[in-house]
Amino acid sequence: MSAATRPIGVFDSGVGGLSVLRALRAELPHEQFVYVADSGHAPYGERDDDHVTTRSHAIADYLLGQHQIKALVVACNTATAAAIKTLRAAYPSIPLVGIEPALKPAAAASQTKTVGVMATRGTLQSEKFQALLASLHGQATFVLQPCDGLAIAIEHNDAIKIEALCAEYTGAMGLFGLNSAAMDTLVLGCTHYPFVESVLRRSIGEQVTLLEGGAPVARQTRRLLDAAGLLAPTAAGQSVAPTQFLTTGHVEDLRSAAQRWLQLDTQVGALGV
């Protein structure tokens, strides 16, 4: 197998990274992906950095050893914040892409210069996030909201809890809208949250701009692969390349999520890493 035809590894603490995978598949339809949901060790956002870093390295080791991946996408804000630096040090030979909350584009896009940020507690408290926030001092006011329990409610597709938590957390943040004192932009700082956009809209309205990180990650992945000469070759009439799904949690949870959010009826493998 040539380097360019090897798959790209993608992992998240659970099913949330499917929002990033969706963007990757749209940007790079001829690439093969191996997606790992570490649902058996979730939620990352409510665990300490040592736990998240240990799990991130275990999954990266598995993907490199068993699937010979040519690149790795960390499709989890919490794992990026906790582990991206040590992952890059450990695996310097492959392109490695992380994700971070879209604070910079939010500050640029906001007209009221008041931006809401919903994320896990782990992401908001991380050194990486705090450095990003400090770099934007004076460019906008950021209203930070830790969303304990929301990612796991999305993981379990618990509609009643999702509705309650979205209403609770957006209500705690303050006023949304286009008035000068309101938040006109909301950053979804966890890859799970784009899947509940319709629920969030019921609380914040249709005028508020929602920003998430999947598309920028996909574009950056393409740039790095192109620069390294690792883009998969394309052939006339070739369909979208296959994606392999693996989970350390319940197989049916990931299979249902892939069907619900990606319209993929796929087999899911159990992973004992």
**Catalytic hit among 20, 76, 117, 218:** 76
166 is catalytic: no
Rounded CA separation 151/165 (Å)? 10
Residue type, 116: G
**Catalytic hit among 124, 190, 232, 254:** 190
Residue 26, token pair as written in the block: 């749209």
Paired with 187 in beta bridges are 117, 211
Sheet holding 268-270, edge to edge: 96-97, 71-74, 8-12, 33-37, 243-247, 268-270
Say which residues have a Cβ less than 8 Å from residue 97's Cβ, sequence separation at least 6: 71, 72, 73, 74, 217, 220, 221, 224
Q: Minimal CA–CA distance to 219: which of 17, 83, 12, 26? A: 26
Helix boundaries (H) for the chain: 18-27, 49-67, 77-90, 103-109, 121-125, 127-135, 150-155, 159-173, 197-204, 214-227, 251-262
76 is catalytic: yes
List b or e across 210-225, with b for residues whose CB sees 16 or more CB atoms inside 10 angstroms: bbbbbbbbbebbbebb
Residues annotated as part of the active site: 76, 190
